[in-house]
Amino acid sequence: MWAWFVGGAILLVALLLTYTGHKAASAATEQQRADAYRVFLALLVAAIAVCFLLAMVVQQAGVL
């Protein structure tokens, strides 16, 4: 059951990153592109940080 929650969370983050990347690439003005790129980078950094934290917790639990 946990696999469904983790898979759903991964899918949600992937969709958010895809959407913000698309908005950053196809924005009409330079300001909109800069704002969308800033949001994209913030989401990317947050996703990478969560992956590292999850790996640390799983390693401490002895699964990895």
- Provide the residue-wise pLDDT of the chain in tens; the chain has 64 residues: 778 888 888 899 999 999 988 988 898 999 999 998 999 999 999 999 988 998 899 899 888 7
Q: Residue 20: how many CB atoms within 10 A of its CB?
A: 20
Angle at Cα 8 formed by Cα 12 and Cα 17, nearest 5°? 20
pTM of the predicted protein model: 0.74
Q: Which amino acid is at 19?
A: Y
d(CA 58, CA 16): 25
How many domains would you assign to the chain? Answer: 1
* The two three-digit tokens of residue 37, written as one number: 């790129």
Range of the domain at 30: 2-60
In the DSSP assignment, the letter for residue 61 is T
Q: Which amino acid is at 14?
A: A
